[in-house]
Amino acid sequence: MSRPDNLNILRERIRAAEIGSVFVASDFADVTENVKVGVSLSRLEEEGIIMRVMRGVYYKPGYSKLLDEYIAPAPDAVADAIARNYGWSIVPCGDTALNLLGLSTQVPAVWSYVSDGPYKEYSYNGTTIKFKHTANREISRISPKTALVIQAIKTLGKGNIRNDTVEKIISETTPDERKIMLAEAQYATSWIYEFIKTVCRC
């Protein structure tokens, strides 16, 4: 039996992925070098298997019969893909953190993230993603959910915490996540840690 070529490997992986999945060259580093992956992704775009979001970023499209158009990828998935490609650690912040944690139904005008990478901004199809450099200690060595909760609480501010904030965070986290959060958040600002203790002990 002949060995499948790199293009077929990428094609099959993408076909097996969920609709809306976002891909960058580094996702296929185990197959071949990035330059060749880039060529293969361009070929798969020509075949209609993936669509281009921006240079070097592609997604597996899904079609909405109701809207009669292809559904755009989630901005958060695009941000994660960009970060993977460059090896950055990122955490949603500001209105983005509130939206993803369910503390706000307002869609962010700009999808914002703190990052251990450089300040960068990307725009595509009317969507803007912004990465803001921050001290590594704010995002490293803690789980993504703990980091997301901390950024959301920072955005709300000390005087804007309500009972339903506690209830919502509890509903958006598992008991295991809250156990981890209680241990990891002890190095956060004192008022944030006190709030997280309240969440984790409810």
Asked which of 14, 44, 71 is the last residue of a domain, the reply is: 71
CATH code, domain with 51: 1.10.10.10
pLDDT tens per residue, range 125-150: 999 999 999 876 667 789 999 999 99
Res. 4 pLDDT band, cuts 50 70 90: low
35 and 119 part of one domain: no
For residue 198, give the nearest of 141, 155, 149 by alpha carbon: 149
99 and 162 part of one domain: yes
107 and 170 part of one domain: yes
Distances (CA, A) of 202 to 167, 168, 188, 197: 9, 12, 20, 9
DSSP bridge pairs for 52: 58
Which of 41-50, 160-169, 174-183 comes out lowest in average pLDDT? 160-169
Burial of 50 (0-12, 13-18, 19+ CB in 10 A): buried
The tokens of 104 are what?
A: 């706000």
pLDDT tens per residue, range 55-97: 999 999 987 777 778 888 999 999 999 999 999 999 999 999 9
113 and 67 part of one domain: no
> Does the structure show a pLDDT above 50 at 3?
no
Domain encompassing residue 92? 75-201
Res. 154 pLDDT band, cuts 50 70 90: very high
DSSP bridge pairs for 111: 129
How confident is the prediction for the chain on average, in pLDDT? 90
pTM: 0.88
The tokens of 131 are what?
A: 């990465």
pLDDT value at residue 32: 77
Q: What are phi and psi of 37, to 5 degrees?
A: -65, -40
CA distance 124 to 118: 19
* In-domain check, residue 86: yes
